[in-house]
Amino acid sequence: MASPAPATDGIGIANLPNQRHKIVAKRGAHFTIMVVGESGLGKTTLINTLFSTELSPPKSYNRRHHKQLDKLTEVEIIKAELEEKQFKVKLTVIDTPGFGDYVNNRDSWLPIVEFIDDQHEAYMRQEQQPQRSEKTDLRVHACLYFIRPTGHTLKPLDIEIMKRLGTRVNLIPVVAKADTLTQHDLQLFKKRIREVIAAQGIRIYTPPIEPDDEAGAEHARILIDAIPFSIIGSTEDVKTPDGRVVKGREYIWGVAEVENENHCDFKKLRSLLIRTHMLDLISTSEELHYENYRQQQMETRKFGEPKVKKLENPKFKEEEESLRRKFTEQVKAEEARFRRWEQQLIAERDRLNKDLEIAHSAIKQLEAELDALQAGYGRTTGRR
The string of pLDDT tens digits covering residues 330-373 is 888 888 888 899 899 999 988 988 988 898 888 888 888 888 88
Return phi, psi of residue 318, to 5°. -65, -40
Asked if residue 7 belongs to a domain, the reply is no
Model confidence at 195: pLDDT above 90: yes
Distance (Å, rounded) from C-alpha 23 to C-alpha 34? Answer: 27
Give the other-Cβ count within 10 Å of 170's Cβ.
26
334 is in which domain, residue-wise?
311-378
Residue 304 and residue 347 share a domain: no
* Section 100-127 average pLDDT: 79
pLDDT digits (tens, 9 = 90+) for 46-69: 888 888 777 766 655 554 544 444
* Section 223-228 average pLDDT: 90
pLDDT band per the 50, 70, 90 thresholds, residue 194: very high
Asked if residue 8 belongs to a domain, the reply is no
- Look at residue 23 in the predicted model and tell me its pLDDT: 79
Distance (Å, rounded) from C-alpha 384 to C-alpha 381? Answer: 5
Distance (Å, rounded) from C-alpha 30 to C-alpha 285? Answer: 13
Asked if residue 330 belongs to a domain, the reply is yes
User: What's the chain's average pLDDT?
Assistant: 82
For residues 331-355, one letter each, b for 16 or more C-beta atoms within 10 angstroms of the residue's C-beta and e for the rest, the string is eeeeeeeeeeeeeeeeeeeeeeeee
Q: For residue 66, give the nearest of 102, 111, 105, 19 by alpha carbon.
A: 102
Q: How far is CA 380 from CA 369, 370, 371, 383, in A?
A: 17, 16, 14, 6
Residue 367 and residue 220 share a domain: no
Show which of 308, 323, 350 is a domain's final residue.
308
Comparison of pLDDT for 255 and 194, the residue scoring more: 194
Distance (Å, rounded) from C-alpha 39 to C-alpha 266? Answer: 20
- Look at residue 253 in the predicted model and tell me its pLDDT: 80
Q: In degrees, to the nearest 5, what angle opens at C-alpha 52 toward C-alphas 215 and 226?
A: 40
AA letter at 247: K
Residues ≥6 apart with Cβ < 8 Å to 129: none
Residue 210 and residue 102 share a domain: yes
- Look at residue 382 in the predicted model and tell me its pLDDT: 62
Distance (Å, rounded) from C-alpha 290 to C-alpha 176? Answer: 29
Residues ≥6 apart with Cβ < 8 Å to 128: 303, 304
Residue 263 and residue 338 share a domain: no
Comparison of pLDDT for 151 and 284, the residue scoring more: 284
Distance (Å, rounded) from C-alpha 192 to C-alpha 372? Answer: 104
CB 44 within 8 A of CB 146: no
Residue 245 and residue 107 share a domain: yes
Number of domains in the chain: 2
pLDDT digits (tens, 9 = 90+) for 286-332: 899 999 988 888 887 776 666 666 555 555 667 778 888 888 888 88
Residue 25 and residue 124 share a domain: yes
- Look at residue 311 in the predicted model and tell me its pLDDT: 53
Give the other-Cβ count within 10 Å of 59's Cβ.
14
Return phi, psi of residue 279, to 5°. -65, -40
Which CATH number covers residue 257? 3.40.50.300
Residue 266 and residue 209 share a domain: yes
* Section 214-222 average pLDDT: 89
Residue 265 and residue 336 share a domain: no
* 102, β-bridge pairs: none
* 90, β-bridge pairs: 30, 81
- When mean pLDDT is compared across 41-55, 157-171, 222-236, the lowest value belongs to 41-55
Q: What is the DSSP-derived secondary structure letter of residue 88?
A: E
Return phi, psi of residue 184, to 5°. -65, -50
- Look at residue 171 in the predicted model and tell me its pLDDT: 93
